[in-house]
Amino acid sequence: MGLKVLLVDDDFINRKLLQTLLKKNPTVSEIVEAENGSDALDKLKTMDDVSLILLDIMMPIVDGIEFLKIFRSDMKNAHIPVIVLSTDDTRKSEVFDNGANDFMRKPIKEDDLATKMKQWS
């Protein structure tokens, strides 16, 4: 069975670019999109088979840091790896302090993403 990836980013173009990269990856069987952390948390309530989360930091409503705090406090989902995606490194230590498994700087390169996904799946 392939990976089910939850892609959380408020920017439509970023989501489409990442979706294109994920579709090229033969290990990915399903991609679920969320526009912000709140949307992602709602979707996770009804899905128990997410393999990996790709998470933007800067989003409206519930940002990536707040999402991590809420998500990691729920023991049911504690096993799901989260890779944080950001345009800068200024909040890198903060994302790790709140439970992120990995960090990637945007723009995301296909080979780098494939390597990280393999590492965490």
Residues 6-28 have pLDDT tens digits of: 999 999 999 999 999 999 999 99
What beta strand segments (E) does 76-119 contain? 82-86, 102-105
Decide: helix, strand or coil at residue 79. Answer: coil
Residue 82's pLDDT is: 97
Residue range 24-46: mean pLDDT, rounded: 96
Residue 48's pLDDT is: 84
Residue 88's pLDDT is: 86
Read off the pLDDT of residues 60-99 as tens digits, 9 standing for 90 and up.
Answer: 999 999 999 999 998 677 789 999 999 988 889 999 999 9
| pLDDT at residue 49 greater than cutoff 80 | yes
Residue 74's pLDDT is: 82
Residue 101's pLDDT is: 97
Domains of the chain as residue ranges with CATH: 3-108 (3.40.50.2300)
Distance of CA 49 to the CA centre of its chain: 14
Backbone torsions φ then ψ of 81, nearest 5 degrees = -70, 145
pTM: 0.95
